[in-house]
Amino acid sequence: MKHKIFLSSAIIFALICLSACGGGGDKDMSLRVDEAVAPVSMDAEIAGAVSFKLEKITRPENITDLSTYCDVYSERIYVFATQENGIYVMSIDTASGAWDTVCPAFGASALALDANGNVWMLGVDDDEAAHLYCCVPGNTEPSLAVELSSLGVAQGGYPEALAFDSGGILYMLWSNPKAGGSVSALDVSGDTPRELFKLSTGDTPKLARAGERVFVGSARDGVYELQAIDAEAQSWANSQSVDADAYGLAGGADGKLYLTIGGEVYSLYPGDGALTKLFSLTEMGVSAGFACGALSDGTPIVLSYESGGYYVPPTLSLARIEEAPAGGVTTLRLATTDVMSVRQAVLDFNESSDDVKIELVDYSVYNSEYGDTAGALRLATEIITGNAPDIYSLYDLPFAQYAAKGLLENLYPYIEADPELDRADFLSSIFAASEYDGKLMALVPSFTIQTMIARADMLPASGTWTLEDMARLMTENPDAAQFDVGFGRDDFLRYVVEHYGASFIDWESGTCAFDSPEFVAVLELAENVRENIGTGYEYEAHAVSAGAQLFSFYTVYSFSDADHFRTFGAEVSAPGFPSSQGGGNSVVPALSLGISSACADKNAAWSFLRGFLLESYQLDVVNGFPISKAALEAKAQRYRDIRPEGKEVKADYGSAGIFTVIYDPERDNAETLSIIDSARSLRAPDKALEEIIMDEAAAYFAGDKSAEETAKTIQSRVSIYLSEQYG
């Protein structure tokens, strides 16, 4: 066995350190939340009139990495640190910043300090045997305290964390992908090791000590459950939960628990039912990170990952309390369900701005592993009920409703008053799709276009593209697949609702037109969509070009997509979705932001938003198109440079074959710009509207109702919905 060499030197130490434990056999209890204890709301108390500043702990050059687990003893931080010749336990003096090597880590993955300052480490060797080591202060080598496998501890598990309670009982947290986690308890005060008991936990458990007890945290369905261990009863003690998904749990020497939720650090006194929000990591210029403990005075210890590169070693920092700067700082809340789309912009802005800071609020923490809509629904509820953040992402929200209710600020006056910006310098079609009643309610600095493609020679020569035209093609080509593989009538109808459903609603008057002939035609068209079970073609554009498939919903990301339309022989065109207006496309924002009309300092909010329209951001748009005409032309020029006109190339599409393509960048660019210019709507999902329509359409698809009857029922239900929500 890998670590047998240390056994003889450890026997004397083990006999001194380990004693017989009374006890109790194994108990297996599931982590549960006491139903009498309601989850703590995330509407947390804000820490008083204090501010924090990250005080970076300088890492010695010979340390290349740090673990994500640390412990605190006597104002020193203990952590696993990677050096050139191996991994060691190191201690950091938080007063002087000095780093000292304690002992080799021997592959351990968890550590904790007991009341005497002894360092305990837990690990599993290559033979999956579990070992518990202990290093006495002053010793340079740890001693093997016990091979835990001999006790039957952690069968099939992996060590995640260690913690001592005030009585000296050591708790070991084990994870198991199939069986969840478990907590084992061991008395380490004498000479005969014996496991006291074992408790089962939920998914992704974490372990931390606060006060006299050790707590286990577990995330389930968007709720973070906290349970204290009662060593004497060998069971769980009091319970508590937070209605958000925390990804960091740490214990502090000050008796508090520290939770990291959506890039924000909170403190919690166990049992008192109140979260206190301390600070946002993003406000402090940290790309990602979490609290991993606290000193006795309540100074949180933060392990952070700074932006800039594929892999950046983590950094330890102390979040010191500091006096608020003279004159104060305006802090604005930016709420989103997609943090990555704005994180870097927030970091850059906060670093450059002295008087305005953006606090990034991540609503995706309310999502569960079984669904990703809870965060958007919670944000929507807070906006409608008057608890709107200062700035919020509109990507998953129906912005027209908010605009009609006066919940969003018109952005045109800010652009017109900005000395560095001119409305004429930006794409009018994207601005128009983001308008409500002639007012710009959403800023979409970058985007893609959702369109529908069909074979060019099948489309009407008149250039019109209506629902009747589409129905005719489906009738005239009964043997061709209609849409992509796996795409059926439900998918078609959901697509229409998501991208064009708002066109049937007048949000200002609270009325709708789902009983109109046009929506009846949409239902009839959807009813005739057959699910495509396969065409034998690997690429949808190839299947459409060959006539084996009539249509495909297609996302245009770049100028080269138009090149793709000509690759497979017969040309493919992108008329968009048919309508009485002659067809059109949908703008899919890569980012969509609005300023709340309730924002206390709208000029400060605009000072952040305007950065997305500046050249520094627009020229850096990679995935999709920039809204700036100059940046879009620069992107078109790059396409011309890599696609020399008239050049003939062989395009290898694997099993689909090799196709000859003659580059025509001017034509491709013109076609792409035409697709962008024909955009007439902004993707604006409304889950409640979608559920109503899909629910009623099911009866129509089953043959229980006519299209007209279904449209009338939808009209009635949506009218009630509008009255309840916005009337």
SS (H, E, C) 487-526: CCHHHHHHHHHHHHHHHHEECCCCEECCCCHHHHHHHHHH
375-402 average pLDDT score: 86
The DSSP bridge partners found for residue 257 are 251, 268
Task: For the chain, give the percent of residues with pLDDT over 90.
Answer: 37
525-550 average pLDDT score: 91
Q: What is the mean pLDDT of the chain?
A: 83
456-485 average pLDDT score: 90
The DSSP bridge partners found for residue 15 are none
| Predicted local confidence at residue 323, as pLDDT | 61
At a CB cut-off of 8 Å and minimum separation 6, what does 722 contact?
505, 507, 510, 511, 512
139-145 average pLDDT score: 80
Going by pLDDT thresholds of 50, 70 and 90, the confidence category of residue 49 is very low
Going by pLDDT thresholds of 50, 70 and 90, the confidence category of residue 187 is confident
| Predicted local confidence at residue 89, as pLDDT | 93
| Matching residue, tokens 């129509």 | 700
Going by pLDDT thresholds of 50, 70 and 90, the confidence category of residue 327 is low
675-690 burial, b at 16+ Cβ within 10 Å, e below that, comes to bbebbbbbbbbbbebb
Asked whether the predicted pLDDT for residue 602 surpasses 90, the reply is yes
In this structure, of 211-215, 284-288, 428-432, 670-674, the range with the lowest mean pLDDT score is: 284-288
Round to whole Å and give the CA distance between 722 and 720.
Answer: 5
Question: pLDDT tens, 548-572?
Answer: 999 999 999 999 998 888 889 899 9
527-545 average pLDDT score: 90
Mean pLDDT: which of 220-224, 306-310, 657-661, 670-674 is highest? 670-674
| Predicted local confidence at residue 447, as pLDDT | 95
Side-chain-facing half-sphere of 665: CA atoms under 13 Å: 14
| Predicted local confidence at residue 624, as pLDDT | 92
| Predicted local confidence at residue 418, as pLDDT | 95
Asked whether the predicted pLDDT for residue 506 surpasses 50, the reply is yes
Asked whether the predicted pLDDT for residue 542 surpasses 70, the reply is yes
Task: For the chain, give the percent of residues with pLDDT over 70.
Answer: 87
| Predicted local confidence at residue 193, as pLDDT | 63
| Predicted local confidence at residue 239, as pLDDT | 80
Round to whole Å and give the CA distance between 142 and 10.
Answer: 9
Question: Can you give the pTM of this predicted structure?
Answer: 0.72
611-639 burial, b at 16+ Cβ within 10 Å, e below that, comes to bbbeeebbeebeebbbbbeebbeebbeeb
Cβ–Cβ under 8 Å, residues 609 and 603: no
| Predicted local confidence at residue 326, as pLDDT | 53
Asked whether the predicted pLDDT for residue 25 surpasses 70, the reply is no
Asked whether the predicted pLDDT for residue 1 surpasses 50, the reply is no
> H helices of 225-279, where?
none
Asked whether the predicted pLDDT for residue 440 surpasses 70, the reply is yes
321-338 average pLDDT score: 77
Round to whole Å and give the CA distance between 17 and 78.
Answer: 21
Question: pLDDT tens, 68-81?
Answer: 788 998 889 999 99
Asked whether the predicted pLDDT for residue 87 surpasses 70, the reply is yes
Asked whether the predicted pLDDT for residue 375 surpasses 90, the reply is no
422-448 average pLDDT score: 94
| Predicted local confidence at residue 715, as pLDDT | 95
Mean pLDDT: which of 164-173, 304-313, 322-331, 632-641 is highest? 632-641
| Predicted local confidence at residue 50, as pLDDT | 61
| Predicted local confidence at residue 109, as pLDDT | 85
| Matching residue, tokens 């796996």 | 486
Task: Record the tokens describing residue 448, joined without a space.
Answer: 């893609």
